[in-house]
Amino acid sequence: MHVRGDRQGIISLAAADAFLLQAALMGCIAFETHPSRYRHWKLDVQGEIATLGMQVAEDGGLVPGYALKLNSYDLGVDIELADAIQRLRFSHPAVRALVITSLRDRVFSAGANIFMLGQSSHAFKVNFCKFTNETRLYLEEMSRESRIATLCALNGTASGGGYELALACDEIVLVDDGAAAVSLPEVALLGVLPGTGGLTRVVDKRRVRRDRADFFSTTAEGVRGQRAAEWSLVDEVVPRSRFQVRVRERAEALARSSDRPAGATGIELPPLRRREKEDGVEYGHVALAIDRARRVATLTVRAPREQQPTSPEELLRAGAEAWAIAAWRELDDAVVHLRLNEPESGLVLLRTEGDAETVLAVDRGLVEHRAHWLVREILLLQRRVLKRIDLTARSLYALVVPGSAFAGSLFELVLAADRAYMLADEAGANAVALSPLNHGLLPMSSGLSRLEARFFGQGERVATLLAHAGPFGAAEALAAGLVTFAPDELDWDEEIRLAVEERAAMNPDALTGMEASLRFVGPETLETKIFGRLSAWQNWIFIRPNATGEKGALTVYGRAGQRPEFDWRRT
């Protein structure tokens, strides 16, 4: 079943059933927004310190059926948060610290809205959690790499996803008023896990002792006051009378350690050039084409067609129109659109078009000037987009044909793909190329570069490849292990057709699990633990009758007089 709403999200009233309604509205979730249009957050920039104030509009849910009380959130709230983080990085280079707080009295956030979760499909729940996890990780990356440190000022209780948002900040200050607590009530109240990295961050990041974490994570009311600080659940508890002053002090201290440039001017991030069509989305440099009958999407990225800025000054002048920003913002949008709005396109064919030399020239400029704040942000943007692709639960085949531009930063798409097919053309024109950007500036979540992951444990081989001058023809690329198969012109069509058909016919769940295992070879990080271990468990729990069955804990939550019933068999 595939139901699509129109572009404004207005759907036929005949689709009254909640599932249809949601599926219809899911067809047009938009990921673009702007601070002037935020309904749930207020972004306030005062010199070095920015404040993001949460004040979720109760009636501002993305779909009907639930009220966003007590600063609980849905995907729409998180889309605004992700937007604010992105804009702080690009548009506010003078900001050196961010305070996240609530604009409501005595409540920080009640976390993900339970009734929203209860009415959502499994696929939506999983993708909602993935998006919010990415946003939390962006906060951590922003602190570590962009040097905008983060402080969460808990002026009231933070529950579940609300506390998980705090956990993603560098520091947490909790008001000590005898009432405000931090809690992860999911296990005890809802029969599911905290879905946004909470368990992992409590023990791995904040190093809360595991037995205390066990007590905390099974105690619905949470922990408050001195015990919260003693257990390292927060960094400090402060009486209400001194709260604002103390938050300010700590934010200023955080700001002092930043290397962000005083007095620099940022760049605006204008709306994307984006045109939604019946069978896909057309952007300035990117195209997403959906073949619904075959359940195959084709994602094409075009190399720059015009002379690109290379110096920081030129990049500042060009702003978000620069290919290095525009194409990657578009790619990011296409990927999240695919995830949420095109759930049945299980296989994505990755293509590029244009002049590889122009990509390599852009790469060279970025590498040369990578110490400049804006260039740093551009590289981080590309890194995030590529990570988002690694973490997308779709099969990825890269198709390298003559006229493509799989070079440097765009060659990362080949390295991100589950397989790469390269046409061994008679003319010998088909080629791929590496650039210094493949040398670790665009790492995966595991911390490895995609080349390192591909040749895991073979450091010398990676070094030899990076030292290779010039492009690789099909035979060379195959011999070097840069592509999987290199069929000739006679075989190409049939081989691709078969590979596509076979893949699109397999159990999509098994493919998701398989890809998550094969893509992330080698070391695990907090990030991969969250997406691998924690999310996999959460997905399992979400689909079990004990959570989402008729008598499941998530299903009956909030229903008067109903209590969950469990199958007690442990697995």
User: Binders of a second copy among 382-411, rule CB under 8 A?
Assistant: 393-394
Q: Which one of 484, 487, 495, 551 is in contact with a second copy (CB under 8 A)?
A: 484
Binders of a second copy among 346-365, rule CB under 8 A?
Answer: 346
Nearer to a second copy, 202 or 325 (CB): 202
In this structure, the strands spanning 347-353 and 296-302 are: parallel
Nearest distance in Å: CB 345, a second copy? 8
Helix (H) or strand (E) run with residue 243 in it: helix 240-256
By CB under 8 A, name the one of 91, 121, 232, 244 that touches a second copy: 121
Site for a second copy in 422-441 (CB under 8 A): none
> Which residue from 417, 424, 437, 441 is in contact with a second copy, where contact means CB under 8 A?
417
Residue count, binding to a second copy (CB under 8 A): 90
Question: Between residues 139 and 416, which has the closer beta carbon with respect to a second copy?
Answer: 416
Q: How far is the CB of 568 from a second copy (least distance, A)?
A: 4
Please give, one letter per residue, the 3-state secondary structure of 198-237.
HHHHHHHHCCCCHHHHHHHCCCCCCEEHHHHHHCCCCCEE
376 in the Ramachandran plot: left (φ > 0), alpha (ψ -120 to 50) or beta? Answer: alpha
Task: Measure the CA angle with vertex 560, ends 558 and 562; round to 5°.
Answer: 90
The CB-of-511 to a second copy minimum distance in angstroms stands at 7
For 38, 46, 73, 125, the CA distances from 81, given in Å and listed in that order, are: 9, 18, 11, 18
In the complex, least distance from residue 276 CB atom to a second copy, rounded to whole angstroms: 20
Can you tell me the distance from the alpha carbon of 390 to that of 250, in angstroms, rounded to the nearest whole number? 36
Choose which of 7, 42, 122, 305 interacts with a second copy (CB under 8 A).
122
Tokens of 242: 């001194």
∠ CA 121-124-126, nearest 5°, is 110
For the segment 171-210, give every residue that binds a second copy (CB under 8 A). Answer: 186-188, 190-193, 199-200, 202-204, 207, 209-210
Smallest distance, a second copy to C-beta of residue 46, A: 35
CB of 516 to a second copy, least distance (A): 6
Q: Is 330 helix (H, G, I), strand (E, B) or coil?
A: helix
- Burial code of 348-368, b = ≥16 C-beta within 10 A, e = fewer? bbbbbebebebbbbbbebbbe
User: Among 58, 481, 493, 562, which residue sits at the site for a second copy (rule: CB under 8 A)?
Assistant: 481
* Min separation Cβ 227 and a second copy, Å: 12
Binding mask 243-282 for a second copy (x = CB under 8 A): ----------------------------------------
Residue 570 sits in the site that holds a second copy (CB under 8 A): yes
Of the candidates 298, 481, 301, 491, the residue with the CA atom closest to the CA atom of residue 395: 298
User: Which span (107-115, 251-259, 468-476, 520-528) binds a second copy, by CB under 8 A?
Assistant: 520-528
Residue among 20 and 536 whose Cβ is closer to a second copy:
536
Q: How far is the CB of 373 from a second copy (least distance, A)?
A: 31
Rounded to whole angstroms, the maximal C-alpha distance in the chain is 78
Give, for 283, the enclosing helix (H) or strand (E): strand 280-283
For 73, other C-beta atoms within 10 Å of its C-beta total 27
Minimum CB–partner distance for residue 545 and a second copy (Å):
9
Q: Which is nearer to a second copy, 77 or 422 (CB)?
A: 422
Q: Report the residue number, 107 or 338, with the smaller CB distance to a second copy.
A: 338
Bridge partners, 50 (sequence order): 45, 98
Q: Which two tokens stand for residue 102?
A: 């609530």
Among 455, 472, 492, 557, indicate the residue that binds a second copy (CB under 8 A).
455
b/e map 26-49, b = 16+ CB within 10 Å: bbbbbbebebeebebbebebeebb
Question: Which residues are paired to 407 by β-bridges?
Answer: 433
The least distance separating a second copy from the CB of residue 133, rounded to whole angstroms, comes to: 14
Residues 500 to 519 in contact with a second copy, rule: CB under 8 A? 502-503, 506-519
Burial 458-487 (b: 16+ CB within 10 A, else e): eeeebeebeeeeebbbbebbbebebbbbbb
By CB under 8 A, the residues from 302 to 321 that bind a second copy are: none
75, 79, 213, 448: residue in contact with a second copy (rule CB under 8 A): 213
Please list every residue from 326 through 345 that binds a second copy, using CB under 8 A.
343-345
Closest distance of CB 217 from a second copy, Å:
6
Q: Nearer Cβ to a second copy, position 59 or 550?
A: 550
* Separation CA 443–CA 422 (nearest Å): 24
Report the C-alpha gap between 308 and 545 in whole angstroms.
55
